Amino acid sequence: MADDVLRRVPFGGSDGPRTVVTGGAGFIGSWLCDALLEAGGEVICIDNLLTGSLENLRTALSSPNFRLLEQDVSDRVVVRGRVDCVFHLASPASPIHYQRHGIATLRAGSAGTINALELAQRNDARFVLASTSEIYGDPSQHPQTESYWGHVNPIGPRSVYDEAKRFAEAVTMAYRNAEGVDTGIARIFNTYGPRMSTDDGRVIPAFIGQCLSNQPLTVAGDGEQTRSLCYVSDTVRGLLALAASSEAGPFNLGNPDEVTMLELAWRIRALTGSESEIVHVPLPQDDPRRRCPDITLAGDRLRWAPTVSSEDGLGRTIDWFRRRDGRARRPLSALGAQGGHPNGRPRGRGATGSGDRVRARELALTGTTEAPASSMRIPDQAEDPR
Ligand SMILES: NC(=O)c1ccc[n+]([C@@H]2O[C@H](COP(=O)([O-])OP(=O)(O)OC[C@H]3O[C@@H](n4cnc5c(N)ncnc54)[C@H](O)[C@@H]3O)[C@@H](O)[C@H]2O)c1
């Protein structure tokens, strides 16, 4: 899958593309790193481990073509050598994380995006921004097309994220128009799959965790609000297809299979065989009532569409959570990374020791002890190989 898309990638010399992934230790970023490595490129991940983890990088860390730079993209981005493509994913992404790290979120979307763009500019590289459906706010148009401008509360609890991403899109277009940087913008809709963190408040891991432990299933409001949920391998394929093109976008990347939160709760309950009762809790402020992408544009220009059904994707995700919960965690010191957090859990801002300063500590990543169980595939065909 990744190979098909990367075969079309115009960047890279004879020795393969050299790609930077900011936020590569996160949920989507780590799968993107794995896909790029599987396709034969060299990957440099820049992450300050604010919400990501070394655990997500177990597979990538075993590759000699992978390197992790522990840097805060909001301060400075330093990469030695040639760069062919920059994917900018670094940002807290779940409501719990971005509300806890509001200023860091605004900085990642503003200064962080500028720093990532300038890295691309210095290298004449392709640049792909991971924007979000949140830029549509609580939309008054359904499904949302890329031409819809959104309905966003600029000072509400979600604004640190929504406005950071809206600025990120604006500055990306400015560097394209004024500086000629080869940019592309992806508006990612809700994505799910293995490696999601259970405690960041996102609905799928929350429901799965509640079902697997037979705790009450907490549905916000009346549960009639909708989301469209895209399996992570489909999202990663979309990002790769955008990178392989010279399109500016923005492009919606999501699965138009719209589901109410109540339906989703019942579906996960049935798939896990759980007996959890469904209870209703207050709806968070500014929670969007409906979310559904129109993906016509990505289909026409990128030849991209999601392929994983919700039954399939949810089944694989539930299997992964089951295996993860049953698995004894191996110490991450075995990965050879210096100063990593030993239990693989996110560290707080203070614990990174970076504050607002650059911390360009390069972790030693080659010669690690973990080898992937088989050739790496992102999980549309394979289970998580760990
Ligand atoms: N998961 C989704 O459903 C979804 C939907 C829309 C958009 N997105 C976007 O995709 C990207 C990845 O989301 P995710 O779900 O994988 O989130 P995540 O929290 O798992 O990953 C984000 C990564 O960025 C890193 N990071 C944060 N601030 C940083 C900084 N200043 N410097 C360096 N690294 C930093 C974190 O440590 C983490 O590894 C985000 O930009 C998010 O806005 C995700």
Distance 270 CA to ligand 1 centre (A): 30
CA 263 to ligand 1 center in whole angstroms: 27
Beta-bridge mates of residue 127: 86, 183
293 forms beta bridges with 144
Instruction: Give the residue, by CA position, lying nearest to ligand 1 atom 23.
Output: 23
- Would you call 161 a catalytic residue per the annotation? yes
Q: Rounded to an integer, what distance in angstroms lies between the CA atom of residue 103 and that of residue 15?
A: 40
Measured between alpha carbons, how far is 290 from 287 in angstroms, rounded to an integer?
9
Q: What is the pLDDT along the chain (386 residues), one digit of tens a residue?
A: 444 444 445 444 456 899 999 999 999 999 999 999 998 899 999 999 999 999 999 999 999 999 999 999 999 898 999 999 999 999 999 989 999 999 999 999 999 999 999 999 999 999 999 999 999 998 888 899 999 999 999 999 899 999 999 999 999 999 999 999 999 999 999 999 999 987 778 899 999 999 999 999 999 999 999 989 999 999 999 999 999 999 999 999 999 999 999 999 999 999 999 999 999 998 887 777 888 999 999 999 999 999 999 999 999 999 999 988 776 444 333 333 322 222 233 333 333 333 222 233 333 222 222 222 223 344 443 444 33
Tell me the best of 46, 51, 163, 199 to mutate to test the pocket of ligand 1, counting ligand atoms within 8 Å of each CB and taking the most: 51
Q: Give residues with Cβ within 8 angstroms of 278, minimum separation 6.
A: 216, 217, 219, 223, 262, 265, 266, 269
- Residue 300 CB neighbours (<10 A): 10
Tell me how far CA of residue 210 lies from CA of 79, 214, 265, 274, 366, in angstroms. 42, 6, 10, 9, 38
Residue 75 Cα: closest atom of ligand 1: 31
Q: Which two tokens stand for residue 303?
A: 């030849």
Q: Rg of the Cα trace of the chain?
A: 19
What is the C-alpha to C-alpha distance for residues 125 and 246, in angstroms, rounded to an integer? 11
Q: Of 161, 175, 192, 231, which residue is the catalytic one?
A: 161
What lines the ligand 1 site, CB under 6 Å? 22-23, 25-29, 46-52, 72-74, 89-93, 97, 104, 108, 112, 130, 132, 188, 190-191
CA distances, 71 to each of 247, 352, 353 (Å)? 29, 10, 11
CA of 199 to the centre of ligand 1 (A): 15
Domains by residue range for the chain, with CATH:
2-8+15-192+231-256+292-308+329-362 (3.40.50.720)
Q: What is the pLDDT of residue 327?
A: 61
Q: What is the pLDDT of residue 324?
A: 85
pLDDT at 351: 31
Q: What is the pLDDT of residue 176?
A: 98
Q: Which atom of ligand 1 is nearest to 104's Cα?
A: 31
